[in-house]
Chain A
């Protein structure tokens, strides 16, 4: 009885946003925002209820149930396939759902203000609800195929949202690029699923875990399978080399950027890696090493690029890339706890930063170049203070939440003995502080650099309250036992206990990093001081960016994203896909379509005059003859 109620509650949390999306699409235009917000609120409350129930029951997972979606064959025969849709309720999925629905709810509310008066207002909320539904599906999925289904749905809902202003050429290009880049990752992901299925004979996580723990025949393909599945995360979480879509995705409305970058979509990749961590860490697998270095490389690359961007949203976009690199690196260094911890705190402060950036853009009538801003500290006080909180959290200043989660990752690299990755992590921390300080100083400090920046108007309360609310967890996220919760879950599952697992009260939580891994904590703080000091020296009251002059080519390369987009668009794609397409089209037109068809027509003519008569004659005659031919054949047979 109780179990049924819980399952139904979980299904309701998943399906409500879908219902809202369908209702809006079918005509409830007027109530779009109310429906959408109502659905996500109910989802949030349902999740909260489930989470409290889980906490009180003291377990790490609740009953799960699954409905067959597609069944072929008799159970037990070699050709049996059952794909099902099931919800998995455990600490991991419920924490993630809290983040998705909680942060999502605030973004929904904010959008009411940001999108007010837009022509596609109701369409926006329909897409937003669809997006929430897809993301919740990923989080709740208890098997690979369901995960893949919702994975694709997240892809398409992000396509719709990034291309929300589809009449703008740049937005239309950006959504296409995002979808296709993701599809390349999904290619590997689906192959990985097929490989796992054919080796272990299952697709649901619980059975897979059992199979792998029993050892056996997985080891030879473990690395391959792990890397193929990681491909999916590379696409969705925008890791190198598929990172190019994320900054372009800034073409969507700012609340969408906040949603994609903070709580959903890009987080899905990291979440998936943590969900199937048992598979990546299976005996005989070397996938984690590759994953760690891809993550570390991405975080460094993106941080370097962010240093020389001038668009406020693009700076934040590259910062997201860099932070995702951190999380992936944490997974790779055997630290899913640290990865999920950082994912959670990052969701709070990155949503805050994006919504803050949105408030700035709104105030300046859609100006996004930071060098046309300036001096906004006094005119936009709420935005300023909340943005500052977000910045400090992202940089990792004590006692903001970012410090604790980032420290957890750095400590994890040390614990894993990956000193190279630890160094990268510290350098990235310094770079993060540098570019974020640059952003904050240029936008809010100094004097106004354009007419628009002289008379901004603060956003309406419906946009400011989400900022205020998000600022709270951005500050306290580090000492409210988030890490302990995840550590408890992963400890039960994998024996990888994070260093905060046994932490006592709030006070101990506050000082915990300095006790557990002082080297990591002090290195992180040192990096912040270096980065902050450098940025302060260069950008305090600066009118223009001094770096291009000082760095020369390096600065240009950073500003141009190290020419990856150019490499892909001018070299890689034309030399592979486009070239093959050209060859195929040529062959089809001139060889198969030309020679073969005309040749066969010629041969027919050559074969007999009768047929040529038919070809030049009327079509009806020909059709008649065809049926006649059948009759002749029958006559022949009858006569025999």
Chain B
């Protein structure tokens, strides 16, 4: 199942290499079909996956393992659990939506769609992989096309600078993370890149603290750059502002989650002591994202930059959740990752549509467009409100869970984080609404109209629906997430994994009266 999911887009991409380049429309259809079927497969996978608590060792479902480079202990090993099932679903939906939005690409379509399909395959492979090498390989497979896409199909005058900066930054980050992964491989002594093997080895005997303290910073900094951790975030808004819309959607929505996924999947269970030692630092660094980048977002005049900085700021919630190192915080962090994936893709998709419609993204030049562009305007309004943490969207559920998780460990950081979520986020999002959608309509936009093609809203609707669905019923995700998060944390904070204590002590969190009424 997982292998179909991964190789369908990859093989379609390879097949497209054989198609002559003047069959642009066919290529578009083929890419849509491939990503569309992938999306349906991912939905089916999500529905089949039951989040029942798992045994400590066999934590993965739909597992498949094929030796790849046995000399190094590298294998093609894929599987899902509650940590990645939601991310796979999110990645597949975003990939299809991004392919729909690739309508704007009118030159060298062949190369673009091939790269897009490679990216899609890489994304899904990275999230499915249970092998460190496969994870890294798939990550590069998804990452490298972004550089090329920005360089060739990018928007705006800063395109070259953006390409240069994003390539330099992310490659350096990826290399540092690679160094960390290789060090992990060498030090673990299991002679294997296989995550399950490594986790079992670590469960028996954790790495020596000295090694952990050496490797964790490498992984943290390397992944941190990929996630746009403050102060390594400046590539993000510039890159997103210059990237073609589908690339920005995929990168901000999905690729950015790789680093976080790596931290949760690899760094926490394999380097538990170092993770504990670094938790305080991570918590304080996350304020750089939440507060500082939030403030910077307040000063931006271009919608793409506002969204870019807000997407950097939102990463702070995930960092805070991870730093709390407890079940609530980490589950909340995963929930935010999924929600933010949909949201970032939606925001960049809409801003791309807006730019095609109006020819600008400068907030000061626009105004009152909600009247002229009813669908686009309403969808943007929803996206911006989801971005400032409105209940009803999945982001709120994730953020509030993170706050509950982090409150006891880091009260001061949480106070500032709540301020950032409710007030700073509100200020920059509502400024954008006020500038773009509200107010009088400038004369130049008096006749602007959105596309009347009935399927044009499809990608945006596809992204809004899961946001609302998981916003109203977050348990659809959290019921799957928390048992898996618990097994990840079992090494870090053994208390969490302990079986529920018996009836000793009064049940504090839930009165008996409530239980009676539950079916």
Asked if residues B418 and A187 are in contact (CB atoms below 8 Å), the reply is yes
Residues of A near B326 (CB, < 8 A) are 79
Q: Whole-angstrom distance between the alpha carbons of A619 and B161 in the complex?
A: 12
- Answer yes or no: A622 CB below 8 A from chain B CBs: yes
- Answer yes or no: B508 CB below 8 A from chain A CBs: yes
Asked if residues A74 and B426 are in contact (CB atoms below 8 Å), the reply is no
Q: Whole-angstrom distance between the alpha carbons of A574 and B199 in the complex?
A: 52
The residue in A163, A197, A584, A630 that gathers the most chain B C-beta atoms within 10 A of its C-beta is A584
Residues of A near B148 (CB, < 8 A) are 619-620, 623
Residues of B near A583 (CB, < 8 A) are 295
Q: Whole-angstrom distance between the alpha carbons of A175 and B437 in the complex?
A: 13
Asked if residues A201 and B327 are in contact (CB atoms below 8 Å), the reply is no
B-facing residues in A186-230 (Cβ within 8 Å): 186-187, 190-191, 194, 197-198, 200-202, 204, 206-207, 210-211
Q: Whole-angstrom distance between the alpha carbons of A9 and B290 in the complex?
A: 43
Asked if residues B296 and A585 are in contact (CB atoms below 8 Å), the reply is yes
- Answer yes or no: B460 CB below 8 A from chain A CBs: no
- Answer yes or no: A417 CB below 8 A from chain B CBs: no
Q: Whole-angstrom distance between the alpha carbons of A219 and B172 in the complex?
A: 53
A-facing residues in B365-401 (Cβ within 8 Å): 368, 370-371, 385, 390-392, 396-397, 400-401
Q: Whole-angstrom distance between the alpha carbons of A401 and B361 in the complex?
A: 55
Asked if residues B392 and A153 are in contact (CB atoms below 8 Å), the reply is yes
The stretch that binds B, out of A61-69, A106-114, A530-538, is A61-69
Residues of A near B212 (CB, < 8 A) are none
A72-91 CB mask vs B (1 if < 8 Å, else 0) is: 11111111111110100000
Asked if residues A172 and B434 are in contact (CB atoms below 8 Å), the reply is yes
Residues of B near A68 (CB, < 8 A) are 475, 518
Q: For chain B, which range describes its interface: under 10, 10 to 19, 20 to 34, or 35 or more residues?
A: 35 or more
Quick one: which of B178, B370, B419, B499 contacts A187, CB cutoff 8 A? B419
Q: In chain B, what residue has the closest Cβ to A588?
A: B296
Q: In chain A, what residue has the closest Cβ to B234?
A: A593
Q: Whole-angstrom distance between the alpha carbons of A634 and B181 in the complex?
A: 12
What is the CB-to-nearest-CB distance from A571 to chain B, in angstroms, rounded to a whole number? Answer: 17
Residues of A near B498 (CB, < 8 A) are 77
What is the CB-to-nearest-CB distance from A198 to chain B, in angstroms, rounded to a whole number? Answer: 6
B-facing residues in A533-588 (Cβ within 8 Å): 577-578, 580-585, 587-588
B209-245 CB mask vs A (1 if < 8 Å, else 0) is: 0000000000000000000000101110010000000
Asked if residues A79 and B496 are in contact (CB atoms below 8 Å), the reply is yes
Asked if residues A73 and B511 are in contact (CB atoms below 8 Å), the reply is no
Asked if residues A207 and B299 are in contact (CB atoms below 8 Å), the reply is no
Asked if residues A69 and B475 are in contact (CB atoms below 8 Å), the reply is yes
Residues of B near A587 (CB, < 8 A) are 292
Residues of A near B424 (CB, < 8 A) are 577
Asked if residues B69 and A194 are in contact (CB atoms below 8 Å), the reply is no
The stretch that binds A, out of B24-32, B337-345, B349-357, B402-410, is B402-410
What is the CB-to-nearest-CB distance from A580 to chain B, in angstroms, rounded to a whole number? Answer: 5
- Answer yes or no: A450 CB below 8 A from chain B CBs: no
What is the CB-to-nearest-CB distance from A612 to chain B, in angstroms, rounded to a whole number? Answer: 12
- Answer yes or no: A173 CB below 8 A from chain B CBs: yes
Number of A interface residues at 8 Å Cβ cutoff, please give it. 88
Asked if residues A152 and B427 are in contact (CB atoms below 8 Å), the reply is no
Asked if residues A622 and B167 are in contact (CB atoms below 8 Å), the reply is yes
Q: Whole-angstrom distance between the alpha carbons of A173 and B440 in the complex?
A: 12
Quick one: which of B164, B299, B427 contacts A180, CB cutoff 8 A? B427
A-facing residues in B299-351 (Cβ within 8 Å): 299-300, 326-328, 331-332
Quick one: which of B140, B391, B514 contacts A630, CB cutoff 8 A? B140
Asked if residues B182 and A633 are in contact (CB atoms below 8 Å), the reply is yes
Q: In chain A, what residue has the closest Cβ to B297?
A: A581
Q: Whole-angstrom distance between the alpha carbons of A604 and B401 in the complex?
A: 41
A-facing residues in B113-128 (Cβ within 8 Å): none
Asked if residues B391 and A75 are in contact (CB atoms below 8 Å), the reply is no
- Answer yes or no: A71 CB below 8 A from chain B CBs: yes
Asked if residues B426 and A180 are in contact (CB atoms below 8 Å), the reply is yes
Residues of B near A11 (CB, < 8 A) are none
Asked if residues A588 and B234 are in contact (CB atoms below 8 Å), the reply is yes
Quick one: which of A66, A69, A198 contacts B474, CB cutoff 8 A? A69
- Evaluate whether A153 and B144 lie within 8 angstroms (CB atoms) in the complex, with A66-B514, A172-B438 already known: no
Quick one: which of A172, A175, A187, A630 contacts B423, CB cutoff 8 A? A187
Residues of A near B419 (CB, < 8 A) are 187
- Answer yes or no: A638 CB below 8 A from chain B CBs: yes
- Answer yes or no: A516 CB below 8 A from chain B CBs: no
Residues of A near B414 (CB, < 8 A) are 194
Q: Whole-angstrom distance between the alpha carbons of A626 and B147 in the complex?
A: 12
Q: In chain A, what residue has the closest Cβ to B404?
A: A81
Q: Top 8 A-B pairs ranked by shortest CB distance?
A: A172-B438, A201-B508, A584-B295, A585-B299, A149-B391, A79-B327, A593-B234, A581-B295
**7 more CB-based (< 8 A) A-B contacts, given A169-B439, A634-B69:** A65-B517, A66-B514, A70-B401, A80-B509, A194-B404, A633-B178, A634-B72
Give the interface of B toward A (CB within 8 A): 69, 71-72, 136-137, 140, 144, 147-148, 151-152, 163-165, 167-169, 171-172, 174-175, 178, 182, 231, 233-235, 238, 292-293, 295-296, 298-300, 326-328, 331-332, 368, 370-371, 385, 390-392, 396-397, 400-401, 403-405, 407-408, 414-415, 418-419, 422-424, 426-427, 430-431, 433-434, 437-441, 473-475, 478-479, 481-482, 486, 495-496, 498-501, 507-511, 513-514, 517-518
Ordered by A's residue number, 25 sampled pairs between the chains whose C-beta atoms are within 8 Å are A65-B517, A66-B517, A69-B473, A69-B475, A72-B481, A76-B509, A77-B327, A78-B495, A81-B328, A163-B438, A167-B371, A169-B440, A173-B434, A176-B430, A194-B404, A200-B508, A201-B509, A204-B511, A587-B292, A588-B234, A592-B234, A593-B234, A619-B167, A623-B147, A630-B137
